[in-house]
Amino acid sequence: MRSSLALRLIASAGMASALFAQEAAKSVENEPLAGHARQFLQARVFELGLDASHDFALKSVHQDDLGEDHIRVDQFFQGVKVFGGEAIVHMRNGEVRDTTDALVRDIRLNPMPTLAASEALAVANEALAPNGPYATDPTAELVFAKIQREARVERNQAWADEDGGAALAPRAISARPTRMALVYHVHTELENGGDETRHTDYLIDAHSGEVLQMWDTLHTTAATGTGKSQYSGTVSLSTNSITGGYELRDNVRSMQFTTRNLNHATSGTGSIYTDADNTWGDSANYVEGSSTTAANGQTAGVDAHFGTMKTFDMYKNVFGRNGINGAGKATYNRVHYSNSYDNAFWSDSCFCMTYGDGSSFKTLTAIDVAGHEMTHGVTANSAGLNYSGESGGLNESMSDIFGTMTEFYAKGGGTTSIPTSGGNWTIGEQLASTPLRYMYKPSLDGASRDAWSSSLGGLDVHYSSGPMNRCFYFLSQGSSSSSSSNFYSSYLPGGMTGIGNTAAAKILYRALTVYMTSTTNYASAKTACLNAATDLYGATSAQHTAVTNAFKAINR
C-alpha cells in the first residue's frame, strides 16, 4: 500500500542506521544519489506508527528512468531483522514523494534466542537428511517472523474454475491466522543431480528448535560467432577471441557473462565453452551420453548464451535496466547439469543460471526458459518476492511474463519496444508435445488457477502464478466477450481492450522494481501496478483503466 505518513529513523541511529550509511556509500555510483541517501538519513522524516525499538537498514537504492530514487530498507526490532518487514522510500528531486509500506507492527517479543545458530543448522540438516554435500554452506539468520498457525488441508480437492469447469488442484488450504515468533531463517542448497537438487528454506523456533515452516526456494522453470541453436535457428553470438580460437564470453554487454559446460557435474562453475572456428552447435537436441564439447553438445550452450544476450537486451533497451542487479554484475550459464535433469534453475548463491539436458523434456534452454531464469535473478535483486504463498506465485509469474516478453522481443526483432509478433503465450512449448503453462488460460494445464481465491496461496508456486499470468495476458492483448472463448472471464463478461506488450511490460516492470516488496500478494500487486500505471501514463489514462480491468478479470 502507499502511505503519506513519514517513517522516522531513530536519532540514536544504532546498528541498522550505521549499516544504512555504510551500504549507501557502497551502492551508489554518483554524488547526487549519494546525497539523496544521506539526506534521507539525516532528515528522519518518516513516521509509520512504530516505537523506538525499531531501526532500519538499507537494502538497495534504485534510480529509475523517470529520475526518481527508490530506497528500500529492511526493518529491525531490538537489533533483530524482521522477516519480510520492508519499506520503500520514493524520492523526487531530493524530497520524499511517497512510501510503500510492508512493515510489521505489534512485535512484543524478547530478541534473545535460547538456541544457537549452529543448533538451528543442525535441526535443518536433520530435517533435510541430505544424501550428498551442500552446494554452498547453509546459512542461519535470527529474525522475527510471522508464522502461520495450523489449518485444515484438503488434498486433491476438485475446484470449479471461473468458467464453470473443474480442475484438480494439488491442494487447498484455508486462510490461516498468524503469530509472531523469534526464529532462525535457514537457507540450504543441494545440487547433486536429478535425485537431489533442492534449495530449501526453514523457519526454526529459536527456543524450541521446532521447524515451524519450510518451503522450496529452487527458482525453476517448473516441470520441467554464429550459433546453430536448437530453438531460435541460426543466430549471431557475442564471443571472445582467444589464442587458437574463441570462447562463449560476452564482453560487449555491460553485464559480461560466460556460458560454461558442467559436463554432467552438479557443482562448480564448469569449463567455459571454446571453439576453433567460431561456429557453434548443430541445431539438434543433445544426445544423452554423447560428448558435451562436440557440436551437438555445444548446442545447449548456444541457446543459453543467446537467451541471456536477448534477455539482457530487452531489460536494457526497453526498461533501462543494466543486467540482473541493475548495476551490470557479471553472471554465467551452466549447461549439461547432471544427467537427464528435467529442469533449469536460478541460484542466488552462484548468481547464475543452470540448465539440465532433460529426459521427459528436450534440453531446457528454450528462449522463454532463459528469460524466465534470468528474471528470477532480477526479482531477487529488486522486490525479492518470497518463494512461497501468493508472493511465490507472483515471483513465478514475473518470470513467466518476462520470459514470454523475451521470446517476443527476440523472435519479433525488438529494439526499444517489444513486438506483438514472433512469440506466443505459452511457456516451454518447444520442450515437449504440450506446453508447461498457458498464459491466456492457465487451467488448461490441469492444475493452475485462472482467477484469485483465498486458497490460492496454498498451491505450488508454479500453479498460483496462473492468475497473474492471465492478468498480464488480458492487460496486453485484451479479453473476449464470448463465453465459449479461452480468452473470456466471467468476472469481466464484457471483455476489454489490451494495451500491447510494451506498455503492459513497462507497467509490470515498474511495479516489480519500484513498488513490490518480499511479501506482496495479489491485492498489493494490483496496487503496485496501478501506482506504476499512474507514474508512467497518468491516473486517468487508458493504461490505468486497463490495469483495473485486467485485475478485475482475475477476481482482484
Lowest mean pLDDT among 82-91, 204-213, 300-309, 406-415: 82-91
Residues catalogued as catalytic: 373, 462
Query: Can you give the pLDDT at residue 159?
Result: 32
Q: Right CATH number for 117-217 from 1.10.10, 3.10.450, 2.60.40, 3.30.1480?
A: 3.10.450
Strand partners, 437: 427
Percent of the chain with pLDDT over 90: 69
Of the candidates 94, 29, 30, 89, the one whose C-alpha atom is nearest the C-alpha of residue 57 is: 89
Residues contacting 103, CB < 8 A, separation 6+: 7, 48, 50, 75, 82, 85, 86, 87
CA torsion 73→49→175→554, rounded to 10°?
-70
- Which run of H or of E encompasses 314? helix 295-319
DSSP, res 513 = I
Residues in the chain: 556
Q: Which residue matches cell numbers 541430505?
A: 130
DSSP H helical segments within 93-190, as ranges? Answer: 117-128
Mean pLDDT of 508-531: 97
The pLDDT tens digits of the residues spanning 417-469 come to: 999 999 999 999 999 999 999 999 999 999 999 999 999 999 999 999 999 99
| Confidence check: pLDDT of 144 > 80 | yes
N-to-C CA span, the chain: 15
Residues contacting 402, CB < 8 A, separation 6+: 311, 314, 371, 372, 375, 378, 505, 508, 509
What is the maximum alpha-carbon separation in the chain? Answer: 66
DSSP H helical segments within 111-179, as ranges? Answer: 117-128
Rounded to an integer, what distance in angstroms lies between the CA atom of residue 73 and that of residue 57? 5
Rounded to an integer, what distance in angstroms lies between the CA atom of residue 159 and that of residue 171? 10
Contacts 24+ apart (CB under 8 A), 209-217: 209/115, 209/119, 209/120, 209/123, 211/123, 211/124, 211/127, 212/147, 212/181, 212/183, 213/147, 213/148, 213/388, 214/127, 215/387, 215/388, 215/392, 216/387, 216/388, 217/187, 217/387
Query: Can you give the pLDDT at residue 178?
Result: 78
pLDDT band at 177 (very low <50, low <70, confident <90, very high): low
| Confidence check: pLDDT of 413 > 90 | yes
Contact between 546 and 508 under an 8 Å Cβ cutoff? The reply is no
CB neighbour class for 11 (10 Å; exposed up to 12, middle 13-18, buried from 19):
exposed
| Confidence check: pLDDT of 31 > 50 | no
CA torsion 502→507→513→515, rounded to 10°?
180
Q: In Å, how far are 159, 419, 452, 470 from 164, measured between CA atoms?
A: 9, 34, 15, 17
Rounded to an integer, what distance in angstroms lies between the CA atom of residue 71 and that of residue 58? 7
CATH topology of domain 389-552: Neutral Protease; domain 2 (1.10.390)
Contact between 374 and 257 under an 8 Å Cβ cutoff? The reply is no
User: Over the Cα atoms of the chain, what is R_g?
Assistant: 23
Contact between 313 and 236 under an 8 Å Cβ cutoff? The reply is no
Q: In Å, how far are 259, 260, 410 from 367, measured between CA atoms?
A: 15, 17, 8
Of the candidates 379, 405, 556, the one whose C-alpha atom is nearest the C-alpha of residue 476 is: 405
Q: What string of H, E and C letters represents the secondary structure of 349-408?
A: CCCEEEEECCCCCCCCCCHHHHHHHHHHHHHHCCCCCCCCHHHHHHHHHHHHHHHHHHHH
The pLDDT tens digits of the residues spanning 216-230 come to: 888 766 443 999 999
Contact between 84 and 386 under an 8 Å Cβ cutoff? The reply is yes
CA quadruple 80, 83, 85, 86: dihedral sign: positive
The grid cell for 459 is 498451491
Q: Which residue matches cell numbers 523469534?
A: 182
pLDDT band at 252 (very low <50, low <70, confident <90, very high): confident
Rounded to an integer, what distance in angstroms lies between the CA atom of residue 342 and that of residue 269? 20
Domain boundaries, the chain: 2-102, 117-217, 226-379, 389-552
Helix (H, G, I), strand (E, B) or coil at 138: strand
Contact between 273 and 259 under an 8 Å Cβ cutoff? The reply is yes
The pLDDT tens digits of the residues spanning 272-308 come to: 999 999 999 999 999 999 999 999 999 999 999 999 9
Identical fold, 2-102 and 117-217: yes
Query: Can you give the pLDDT at residue 53?
Result: 82
CA quadruple 382, 397, 527, 103: dihedral sign: negative
Query: Can you give the pLDDT at residue 511?
Result: 98
User: What mean pLDDT, rounded, does the chain reach?
Assistant: 86
Query: Can you give the pLDDT at residue 57?
Result: 82
| Confidence check: pLDDT of 168 > 50 | no
DSSP H helical segments within 418-538, as ranges? Answer: 461-464, 466-477, 501-510, 522-537
Q: In Å, how far are 198, 259, 354, 398, 501 from 430, measured between CA atoms?
A: 25, 21, 18, 20, 21
- Which run of H or of E encompasses 304? helix 295-319
pLDDT band at 4 (very low <50, low <70, confident <90, very high): very low
The pLDDT tens digits of the residues spanning 116-142 come to: 999 999 999 998 989 899 999 999 999
| 2-102: CATH architecture | Roll (3.10)
The grid cell for 27 is 551502492
The pLDDT tens digits of the residues spanning 311-361 come to: 999 999 999 999 999 989 999 999 999 999 999 999 999 999 999 999 999
| Confidence check: pLDDT of 91 > 90 | no
Rounded to an integer, what distance in angstroms lies between the CA atom of residue 509 and that of residue 496? 22
Lowest mean pLDDT among 218-227, 507-516, 545-554: 218-227
Mean pLDDT of 62-74: 86
Q: Domain spanning 226-379 has what CATH number?
A: 3.10.170.10
Query: Can you give the pLDDT at residue 187?
Result: 95
